[in-house]
Structure 1
């Protein structure tokens, strides 16, 4: 486990606007798990053929996904977008 934090990019209101409360809670839970991985989070999710860059991870049984950046230089995971199909 690492001491990496996570944050919304650019901010929480932009990323989570209009999402159900349960979805936001699941996104925050996953962001905490990704931050605990530290620099290993650069290899989690899609695309599977390369490391780093904008990554995607399914949420709630494939009913949506989050897009995130794991930035070792900042020692932080940034949640950039949430797509929710409902």
Structure 2
């Protein structure tokens, strides 16, 4: 277990506004798992050919994806965008 946390960036209202509660719950579950990975979260998702930067990870069987940043300096995962095709 790591000491990493996760947050919405810039805010939950901006990133998750209007999404179904089930989608938000799944995003938060995944964010918790990404935080548990710690520094290795920079290797998860797209793009596959490099580490770091803005990453994308499919949610709910490809019906959407999240964009996130892994910030080792802050020990935090920042959820920056949720794209939901519904």
TM-score normalized by the length of structure 1: 0.99
CA RMSD of aligned residues (A): 0.4
Structure 1: gaps of 5 or more residues:
none
1:59 aligns with 2:59: yes
Q: Deviation above 3 Å: which 4+ runs of structure 1?
A: none
| Inter-partner Cα distance in structure 1 for 2:65 and 2:18 | 15
| Inter-partner Cα distance in structure 2 for 1:49 and 1:18 | 33
Residue 49 of structure 1 aligns to a residue whose secondary structure is coil
Alignment partner, residue 28 of structure 2: 28
Structure 1 residue 3, shift from structure 2 partner: 1.3
| Inter-partner Cα distance in structure 1 for 2:62 and 2:9 | 22
Structure 2: gaps of 5 or more residues:
none
